[in-house]
Amino acid sequence: MEQTHLVTTTVDGRPAADSLARTAVTARLAACAQVGGPITSTYWWEGEIETSSEWVVHLKTTADRLDALIEHLRAAHPYDVPEIVAVPVTAGNPDYLSWVHASTHP
């Protein structure tokens, strides 16, 4: 079975989060996406510490779709420097991981 990845990004509002989730799944770059929030993020930006409310989007994809998903998120993202991080899934429900593969490879 092909490696599965969990990709996470954050945006400043629910509509943007929902749009990223929907467009990635529609394009079959992700099998599914969950949107949660609001969360509070504290970070350095332009030499200052900022704190803001954000929405998090978790997407599941396969290794061969990962680069295309990252590029899709970068192009569609409203931030200048979006958080987009991907981590490999090292274990999980085999049936779910098979579903991720089938959903991204119609």
Q: Where are the domains of the chain?
A: 4-104
What is the value of pTM for the model shown? 0.95
Quick check: 97 and 89 in contact, CB under 8 A? yes
Quick check: 59 and 32 in contact, CB under 8 A? yes
As assigned by CATH, the class of the 4-104 domain is: alpha beta
- The residue written with tokens 């990709």 in the block is 7
CA-nearest of 72, 77, 32, 70 to 54 is: 77
Quick check: 4 and 60 in contact, CB under 8 A? yes
- Segment 12-54, tens digit of pLDDT: 999 999 999 999 999 999 999 999 999 999 999 999 999 999 9
- Segment 56-73, tens digit of pLDDT: 999 999 999 999 999 999
